Amino acid sequence: MKRVLASLGAAAVLATGAVALTPTSAAAADGCWGNAGQKKGPDGGTYTARYCHNYQASDVGVGNTRTGHLYAGDNWFVCQQKFDLENPPVGSARNNWWLWTQGDVAYADNGWGWFPATKVSGGNNWEPIPGLQNC
């Protein structure tokens, strides 16, 4: 997986104009939780995913390419990685950690791409989301 993620380069995801929603999951304030099962990645590898609450929808992408769109809610993510590129700001939330997942809607690459940590519950500014492994 590291080989695939390393080949993707810096993440750039186009922000959407989603309206902020209040997290509904009891686990949302604590970051990611549970076992979301095995997911087959774009490289053919199988990865264990965990649930995280994203309180805003957003496009996911790789480089400058939008590859999909993830709706707000309790969704699964495979891992997270820190890049030099900042997430779109959400209120006072700032971050440069990105979460690897598959969008609900696919535009390219079967919808796999990076999702901004600023739209995921449980994290702090400039820190990874608790409970999700690093890529």
Residue 100's closest CA among 45, 61, 53, 55?
Answer: 61
The two three-digit tokens of residue 66, written as one number: 């939008």
Cα four-point dihedral sign 23, 75, 122, 127: negative
Q: What is the pLDDT of residue 85?
A: 94
What residue spans define the domains of the chain?
Answer: 2-119
C-alpha to C-alpha distances, 76 to 22, 101, 108, 115, nearest whole angstrom: 18, 7, 19, 11
Residue that the structure tokens 């480089």 belong to: 63
The two three-digit tokens of residue 13, written as one number: 């995801």
> If the chain, 135 residues long, is cut into consecutive pieces of 10 residues, what is the mean pLDDT of each piece?
39 36 47 95 91 97 96 98 96 97 96 97 96 96
What type of residue is 110? N
